[in-house]
Amino acid sequence: MTAELLAAALLGFFAVGYFVLGGADIGLGMVLPYLGRDPGQRRTAIAAVGPVFLGNEVWLVATAGLLVGAFPDLEGELLTGLFPAVVALLAGWIGRDAGLWMRGRAGGRAWWAVCDTAITAGSWTVALSWGWMFSGLFAGITDRPATGLGAALAALAVAVLFGSHGLAFAALRLSGPLRTRARGPFGPSGEAPTFALTSAAMALLPLAAGIRLPLAATAADDGTLAFLLPVVAIILPLLLAAQVWTWSVFRHRVTGPGYL
Q: Does a structural domain hold residue 86?
A: yes
pLDDT of residue 227: 95
Higher pLDDT among residues 104 and 26, named by residue: 26
* Residue 68 belongs to some domain of the structure: yes
Lowest-confidence region among 12-16, 127-131, 144-148: 144-148
Residue 77 domain-assigned (yes or no): yes
Instruction: Report how far apart, in Å, the C-alpha atoms of 107 and of each of 115, 120, 260 are.
Output: 11, 19, 12
Assess if residue 243 is contained within a domain.
yes
Question: How much is the pLDDT for 187?
Answer: 85
For residue 258, tell me if it sits in a domain. no
Residue 260 pLDDT more than 80? no
Which of 2 and 162 is assigned the larger pLDDT?
162
pLDDT of residue 220: 95
Instruction: Indicate whether 260 belongs to any domain.
Output: no
Give me the mean pLDDT over the 125-143 stretch: 95
Cα-Cα-Cα-Cα dihedral of 70, 76, 82, 83, to 10°?
A: 120
Spell 186-208 as b/e; 16+ CB within 10 A means b.
beeeebeebbeebbebbbebbee
Domain-located, residue 256? no
Does 254 map to a domain? no
Looking at residue 216, the DSSP 8-state letter turns out to be G
Domain count, the chain: 1
How confident is the model over 157-182, as a mean pLDDT? Answer: 96
Domain housing 36? 3-249
pLDDT of residue 1: 57
Q: What is the pTM of this model?
A: 0.95
Cβ burial of 233 (10 Å; 0-12, 13-18, 19+) is exposed
Provide, for the chain, the percentages of residues in helix, strand and coil under a 3-state DSSP scheme, each rounded to the nearest 5.
Answer: 80, 0, 20
